[in-house]
Amino acid sequence: MSQITVYRAKEIITMDPNQPRATHVAVMDGKILAVGGADCADQWGTAVHDDSLSDAVLMPGFVEGHSHMMAGAIWDYAYAGYHDRIDPDGKLWKGMTDIEAVVERLSDQANALPAGQPLVAWGFDPIFLPTERLNRNHLDQISKDRPVAVMYSNFHLMCVNTRALELASYSAETNVEGVLRGPDGALTGELQEMAAMMPVMRRLGIDFRGLSQTAPAIRSFGKVCTRAGVTTATDLFATIEESDIDTLTRVTREASFPIRLVPTLGAIGAQPEEIAARALHLKTFNHDKLRLGAVKLMTDGSIQGWTARVKWPGYVGGQPNGIWNTPPETIFDLCEVMQKNAVQMHIHTNGDEASEVSIAALEAASRKHPWPNSRHVLQHCQMMGRDQFRACAALGICTNLFANHIWYFGDQHAALTLGEDRAERMDAVRSALDEGVRVAIHSDAPVTPMGPLFTAWCAVTRETMTGRILGEAQRISVSEALYAITLGAAYTLKMDHEIGSIETGKKADFAVLAEDPTKAKCLKDVAVLGTVINGVQHLL
């Protein structure tokens, strides 16, 4: 008989209504054998009692339903962002709230590099530094000899120093859209969109493809998750070549790999039938910590980039409607074919026109190929109103809402993109729950940092960066938020029978916390001490 270990905790929040609270959990073979008091496993035979977690509060391991694997390896580059962030190894990088601070930090980083090696940074966002635009003169202060490139957080823009401009042969004569000039006609160093950025990226060896699917990138992503208390996380738009499968299966099988990884295949680059076949083929490689088989569809762009497809009355600044990254008729084709082949879909929808088209496509698909438990998931759902949530409830469509946006971009949405009233009802988790929709909430890491407790706090308080409460009517309770980051997200991944609550029969996956989030002064400040997955501890 396998060993039974009974862990004592300060408190266990189970998310199981039959026994919402407990002090002990018994683990056998990586699964939960029993939950309750010190004697909970006595019926099952001799147990080892382990007090190593007795000062901690346990919750079900958190589930991040919308993140990207590059959240780990992006830290191979220097951080240049406005907000404090913690890297995969636990180091805190203070946010840089003015350009001088960016220059100072990057100068330190540059000085630590071998001569001539480019310095590449990420995460800079001019939206938070409205006084002066970053330009090459700033970056020339970091180095005149080594190329310096600062990638902006949206990955559509970068600023580079004079040396990098020279490498790309950009000069006073260059007259290319996206290679910006100042009022004096000189190049500013800012490069907009990939066409203008590519000549620099090529010469500096910046290739984002290396930030996913390599063994170090996968392991690094695992570390990011552990720091956030996450034991199951998605890589939601994976490019998985046949040659990547071996690495992916090998690394996720490593005993030290701390999460169940759910990569969803980006639905591009082939006809729908081939994509479905590919997803089903990938599914054959699944094991306990690797869950392939779903796909991700793109539809529109982003609201803060004015590229989301929004319904009337459109953007408050009068910008033209956004763009489709996938034509609506292809969205319909993909939905039909995936549904026919029983391939679960995660569908990116920021604007309300994109969610409207996606719901219509899913409804059409479900009429042709009924699949009652399909659990397709609309992702982001930032502008969905009660009407669309009702339609989702009727069709069994799940929604995973981008709660972190409220804090990070809520003020911008009210002032610049959607205007006051629609910003107040963005990311409407309350409406979704009230209309009976299955709900998860997410970070979209690395777009915003992974941290389900922070995400939960956003949905509970709806506080923005300036301290404003954006849409009080859409607040949810702490227990609803905790459900969303555990069982709610597990449901969207079709894993709620295995994970998401601490109850007998499920995987022994726990978030190890310093205090009880339901009693903490501030949900987002609850410290994560590590995780347990399959009964194996990964403490920080």
Partner 1 sequence: MSQPRLPLTVISGYLGAGKTTLINRLLSEPHGQQLMVLVNDFGAINIDADLLVSAEKDTLLLSNGCVCCTIGGDLFMAVADALDRTPRPEHLIIEASGVAEPSKIANVALAEPDLRYAGIVTLADALNYRALAHDPLVGEQVKGQVRAADIVLLSKGSDQALLLELAVLANAPAMALSDDISVSELLLELNPDKAPDIAAHTHPAYTSWSAQEPREFSRARLLEKLESRPSGLYRLKGRLLGPDGGLELHVVGAQISVSACEQPSIGKLVGIGPKQSLSQDAIAQWWA
Of 216-224, 227-235, 270-278, 383-391, the segment contacting partner 1 by CB under 8 A is 270-278
Q: How far is residue 419's CA from residue 220's CA, in Å, rounded to a whole number?
A: 39
Judged by CB under 8 A, which of 214, 325, 341, 534 binds partner 1? 325
**Nearest-approach distance from CB 102 to partner 1, in angstroms:** 25
The two counts, helices (H) then strands (E), for the chain are 17, 24
Under the binding rule (CB under 8 A), the answer on residue 326 touching partner 1 is: yes
**Nearest-approach distance from CB 155 to partner 1, in angstroms:** 11
Q: Where are the beta strands (DSSP E) in 373-508?
A: 377-380, 398-401, 439-441
Bond before 60 cis per omega within 30 degrees: no
List the interface residues with partner 1, window 160-199 (CB under 8 A).
Answer: 168-170, 175-179, 193-199
Q: How far is residue 357's CA from residue 362's CA, in Å, rounded to a whole number?
A: 9
* DSSP characters over 282-306: HHTT-BTTB----EEE--B--TTTT
Q: How many residues bind partner 1 (CB under 8 A)?
A: 41
**Nearest-approach distance from CB 31 to partner 1, in angstroms:** 37
Secondary structure (H, E, C), 480-530: HHHHHHHHHHHHHCCCCCCCCCCCCCCECCEEEECCCCCCCCCHHHCCEEE
Under the binding rule (CB under 8 A), the answer on residue 313 touching partner 1 is: no
Under the binding rule (CB under 8 A), the answer on residue 444 touching partner 1 is: no
What's the half-sphere exposure (Cβ side, CA atoms, 13 Å) at 465? 14
Closer CB to partner 1, residue 195 or residue 522? 195
**Nearest-approach distance from CB 54 to partner 1, in angstroms:** 47
Of 139-147, 261-269, 381-389, 525-533, the segment contacting partner 1 by CB under 8 A is 261-269
Under the binding rule (CB under 8 A), the answer on residue 297 touching partner 1 is: no
What's the half-sphere exposure (Cβ side, CA atoms, 13 Å) at 338? 31
Phi and psi based region of residue 439 (left: phi greater than 0; alpha: psi -120 to 50; beta: remaining): beta
Of 101-109, 145-153, 267-275, 370-378, the segment contacting partner 1 by CB under 8 A is 267-275
b/e 491-523 (16+ beta carbons within 10 angstroms → b):
bbbbbbebbbbbbbebbbbbbbbeeebbebeeb
Closer CB to partner 1, residue 328 or residue 396? 328
Closer CB to partner 1, residue 331 or residue 508? 331
Bond before 446 cis per omega within 30 degrees: yes
**Nearest-approach distance from CB 178 to partner 1, in angstroms:** 6
Q: Where are the beta strands (DSSP E) in 105-242?
A: 119-124, 148-152, 157-160, 179-181, 187-192, 230-238
Under the binding rule (CB under 8 A), the answer on residue 274 touching partner 1 is: yes
**Nearest-approach distance from CB 137 to partner 1, in angstroms:** 22
List the interface residues with partner 1, window 30-69 (CB under 8 A).
Answer: none
**Nearest-approach distance from CB 334 to partner 1, in angstroms:** 12
List the interface residues with partner 1, window 234-253 (CB under 8 A).
Answer: 239, 242
Secondary structure (H, E, C), 52-103: CCCCCEEEECEEECCECCHHHHHHHCEECCCCCEECCCCCEECCCCCHHHHH
Judged by CB under 8 A, which of 7, 324, 409, 454 binds partner 1? 324
80, 102 Cβ separation under 8 angstroms: yes
Per the listing, tokens 């969803």 go with: 264
Of 76-84, 105-113, 207-215, 433-441, the segment contacting partner 1 by CB under 8 A is 207-215
Q: How far is residue 258's CA from residue 359's CA, in Å, rounded to a whole number?
A: 35
Of 5-13, 40-48, 99-107, 316-324, the segment contacting partner 1 by CB under 8 A is 316-324
Under the binding rule (CB under 8 A), the answer on residue 394 touching partner 1 is: no
76, 211 Cβ separation under 8 angstroms: yes
**Nearest-approach distance from CB 33 to partner 1, in angstroms:** 43
Closer CB to partner 1, residue 220 or residue 326? 326
**Nearest-approach distance from CB 320 to partner 1, in angstroms:** 7
Tokens of 439: 């709900």
Judged by CB under 8 A, which of 330, 350, 400, 431 binds partner 1? 330
**Nearest-approach distance from CB 285 to partner 1, in angstroms:** 17
Under the binding rule (CB under 8 A), the answer on residue 352 touching partner 1 is: no
Judged by CB under 8 A, which of 3, 97, 111, 271 binds partner 1? 271
Under the binding rule (CB under 8 A), the answer on residue 269 touching partner 1 is: yes
189, 181 Cβ separation under 8 angstroms: no
Q: How far is residue 49's CA from residue 43's CA, in Å, rounded to a whole number?
A: 15
**Nearest-approach distance from CB 66 to partner 1, in angstroms:** 18
Under the binding rule (CB under 8 A), the answer on residue 327 touching partner 1 is: yes
Of 39-47, 220-228, 318-326, 515-523, the segment contacting partner 1 by CB under 8 A is 318-326
**What are the residue ranges of helices labelled H in 159-271?**
162-167, 193-204, 215-227, 242-253
293, 279 Cβ separation under 8 angstroms: yes
Closer CB to partner 1, residue 122 or residue 454? 122
Positions touching partner 1 (CB under 8 A) are 168-170, 175-179, 193-199, 201-202, 207-209, 239, 242, 266, 268-271, 274, 309, 320-321, 323-330, 353, 357
